[in-house]
Amino acid sequence: MKAVMLVKGYNPETKELGEVACCEVEKPQLVNEDDVLIKVAYASICGSDPHLLEGMFDLPIPSPCGHELSGTVEALGPKATRKGLKVGDKVTGNFYRTCGGCEYCLNGKSQFCENAFGWGAAQAEYIVWREDQVYKLPEGVGLLEASLTEPFNIAVRAVELARLRTGDHVAVSGGGGIGLMVTQLLKKCGAGRVTVLEPVESKRKRALEMGADYVLNPMDADVAQKIQELTGNKGFDALIESSGNGGAARNALDFVGRGGHVVLMSMYKKDFELQMNLLEYCYRKELMIQGMYLAQESFQRAVNMLPQMNFEPVIEKIYALDDCKQAYEDQKSGKYAKLIFDCSL
Ligand SMILES: [Zn+2]
Ligand SMILES: [Zn+2]
């Protein structure tokens, strides 16, 4: 079968980026009794996937790529019976598998599971996952949109961590795939107004389609003043930073108002350090700054929300697995919201 593989690693001396290629590999087989073989329909490219090319995860070469997918159950192990899955069911899944028994798992912090196993091989024609990683899609949810469930789950947790109160004016920094999903979800969850900060014009347009009330270009010299106008000189009640840009994270501290919540949900560059005056931001302004690593326990709730969501404006381009080099190039350009492989092409 075909699979997208990291075939060349990052070279730290020459700073030459790694490379992906579409390779012919063995079709995966059922091994464990609770394994599920999924014929992948669509696999989307994560904002973090290009970090593979930058050596962020120190992977062996070759390594399979991708962790966001939808598909159809093709075979089930004899003990994959707890969820009532059947051959032919349309499903999505969570690449991150936790043990359920370590101290973190038992204390509601399973994102830090000491025995977690999480690596995707989703950008391929087939994948085998354990039953507890596989989720049946609600009635009426299409496979294309369902391939965005894993990043949507990240959006769900980010919104929960923002401690939204009904009617709040919330800002979303970054109009990439997750930022756009956060935008729509905020409106569904009762945000009064949502403002999206995004430098790329086409993404600002998509943000409006996703329900944003206002869009601003954070590169404009007068953006701080515009925020003051929009918020009656109070600043936002909360801001969710999804761009991964260190400068945007720094600006977030100024854009939220007193007692505001800032969620820094991205994977920031290794060497970025944030400077802040503690007297000003922690004492006088009483900011709540919340980091975020992964989202584990919200996955079923993300699946439950799918029928209410419309991801159409997020999906920009669809590629064959054979065109993975181009797809990764496009993802790196930062111009697009969500790029997806049709794994049947
Ligand atoms: Zn992802
Ligand atoms: Zn655990």
Instruction: Yes or no: say if 33 and 78 are a contact pair by the CB < 8 Å rule.
Output: yes
Q: For the chain, where do the domains classified as CATH 3.40.50.720 start and end?
A: 155-291
Distance 229 CA to ligand 1 centre (A): 35
Distance 142 CA to ligand 1 centre (A): 19
pLDDT digits (tens, 9 = 90+) for 281-315: 999 999 999 999 999 999 999 999 999 999 999 99
**Confidence (pLDDT) at 301:** 97
Q: Give, for 69, the enclosing helix (H) or strand (E).
A: strand 68-76
Over residues 144-165, the mean pLDDT reads: 97
Distance 139 CA to ligand 1 centre (A): 24
Instruction: Extract the tokens encoding 194.
Output: 């949502």
Instruction: Extract the tokens encoding 96.
Output: 């991150």
For residue 57, pLDDT beyond 80: no
Give the Cα-Cα-Cα angle 136, 138, 140 (nearest 5 degrees): 130
Among the residue ranges 15-19, 22-26, 62-66, 295-299, the one predicted with the least confidence is 15-19
Over residues 175-191, the mean pLDDT reads: 97
**Confidence (pLDDT) at 54:** 83
For the domain 155-291, what is the CATH superfamily, name and number?
NAD(P)-binding Rossmann-like Domain (3.40.50.720)
Distance 159 CA to ligand 1 centre (A): 16
Distance 294 CA to ligand 1 centre (A): 10
For residue 270, pLDDT beyond 90: no
Q: Which ligand is nearest to the CA of 295?
A: 1
Distance 105 CA to ligand 2 centre (A): 4
In the beta sheet, which residues pair with residue 262?
239, 289
For residue 79, pLDDT beyond 90: yes
**Confidence (pLDDT) at 247:** 95
Distance 211 CA to ligand 2 centre (A): 37
Distance 117 CA to ligand 2 centre (A): 10
Distance 107 CA to ligand 2 centre (A): 10
Q: For the chain, where do the domains classified as CATH 3.90.180.10 start and end?
A: 2-148+311-342
Amino acid at 98: T
CA 91 from chain centre, in angstroms, equals: 18
With cut-offs at 50, 70 and 90, classify the pLDDT of residue 11: confident
For residue 325, pLDDT beyond 80: yes
Q: Which ligand is nearest to the CA of 101?
A: 2
Distance 151 CA to ligand 1 centre (A): 5
For residue 156, pLDDT beyond 80: yes
Question: For 2-148+311-342, which CATH class?
Answer: alpha beta
Distance 46 CA to ligand 1 centre (A): 4
Q: Which ligand is nearest to the CA of 338?
A: 1
**Confidence (pLDDT) at 170:** 98
With cut-offs at 50, 70 and 90, classify the pLDDT of residue 250: very high
Distance 111 CA to ligand 2 centre (A): 8
Range picked from 10-24, 68-82, 331-345 for highest mean pLDDT: 68-82
pLDDT digits (tens, 9 = 90+) for 215-240: 999 999 999 999 999 999 999 999 99
Distance 190 CA to ligand 2 centre (A): 33
For residue 113, pLDDT beyond 90: yes
Distance 83 CA to ligand 2 centre (A): 21
Instruction: Yes or no: say if 42 and 340 are a contact pair by the CB < 8 Å rule.
Output: yes
Q: Which ligand is nearest to the CA of 67?
A: 1
For the four alpha carbons of 207, 211, 217 and 218, in that order, the dihedral sign comes to negative
**Confidence (pLDDT) at 334:** 84
For residue 338, pLDDT beyond 80: yes
Instruction: Extract the tokens encoding 248.
Output: 């945007």
For residue 42, pLDDT beyond 80: yes
For residue 119, pLDDT beyond 80: no
Instruction: Yes or no: say if 147 and 45 are a contact pair by the CB < 8 Å rule.
Output: no
For residue 10, pLDDT beyond 90: no
Distance 118 CA to ligand 2 centre (A): 12
**Confidence (pLDDT) at 47:** 82
Over residues 314-327, the mean pLDDT reads: 96
Q: Which ligand is nearest to the CA of 152?
A: 1
Distance 57 CA to ligand 1 centre (A): 14
